[in-house]
Structure 1
């Protein structure tokens, strides 16, 4: 997996909770693909129809607060977004995000330097660049980056187990 990404920004405010990402009433939809059509429907109703693979969400503080619903980071990924950059993340969303294959990056200051539609460049474990400005970012531990690279925790575990089986480890 590359460690340099470029994408179009979807800018979100502070305190975007999991019910804003995917309302609880949509939790009974049988597939993530169908559920993804309702991502951010109350905050950004155009998101599901207009998001494209490679787009990047830039949020404020406390992104993903609220319930522990795993569907929230999953529907972001279903819509083609693989990176969310925020001032801070709610703890359970942070863990669920990586488990679902999202790359979550904490960065302060970028939110004031960008707008919807701007192009952002992310150099993992180094910085983000937007509109001629560069911002340092927190380090992503290699084990978490590997989970994202493999497509989430379940896929990463399958790959690791297959490798161990291939090596004769029981």
Structure 2
């Protein structure tokens, strides 16, 4: 995984809950190809999965991902290959689900006033620097710590743990 994300911004409001990210009526789907097509389908951008390009960035206000603890909400964003999620704040469980699935979730106060739909955004996860490449404006977010970067660089917490176990076995041999 890269330490920098660059992509087009898709901007959402405050209190975007998990049913807006991935409506519960689709929870029966288990394959990523099925799940991904419903990304943000309960929101004001119900066709996001059709226009979203890998690496594009979701920008939101406060409390992004509030609601249920269903992992599907984060899975659907991983399925569309979101480059990162920038929000003023996150629902706690959604935030951990996103990180554990290998999705960069970055908190940045005031980000919605800095970025508008269609702007090109660059995020450095290790320094916390955010640049709106369309306007030249900058913001500073909390950089991701080493442990979180390790999770992201391994593609999620499960692949990271598998790798740690494999490395341990190699050392024992």
- The two structures have a TM-score, normalised by structure 1, of 0.95
Q: Structure 1: state its 5+ residue gaps.
A: none
Pairing partner for 1:162 from 166, 170, 173: 166
How many residues end up aligned between the 2 structures?
169
Contact 2:83 2:103 survives alignment (8 Å): yes
1:57-99 per-position Cα deviation (integer Å, ceiling 9, x unaligned): 0011000000001111111011010310000011111111111
SS in 2 for 1:54: coil
CA distance in 2, matches of 1:38, 1:77: 12
2:136 matches 1:135: no
The residue number in structure 1 matching 2:61 is 60
The residue number in structure 1 matching 2:12 is 12
User: CA RMSD of the aligned region, Å?
Assistant: 1.2
- The two structures have a TM-score, normalised by structure 2, of 0.93
SS in 2 for 1:159: helix
2:99 matches 1:98: yes
Contact 2:6 2:123 survives alignment (8 Å): yes
The residue number in structure 1 matching 2:154 is 150
Contact 1:147 1:156 survives alignment (8 Å): yes
1:42 shift after superposition = 2.4
Moved over 2 A (4+): none
1:123 shift after superposition = 1.4
CA distance in 2, matches of 1:74, 1:150: 16
CA distance in 2, matches of 1:101, 1:38: 19
SS in 1 for 2:20: helix
CA distance in 1, matches of 2:83, 2:115: 19
2:91 matches 1:87: no
2:31 matches 1:27: no
CA distance in 2, matches of 1:95, 1:30: 20
1:105-141 per-position Cα deviation (integer Å, ceiling 9, x unaligned): 0001221122111100111233101121110101211
Contact 2:7 2:83 survives alignment (8 Å): no
The residue number in structure 1 matching 2:50 is 49
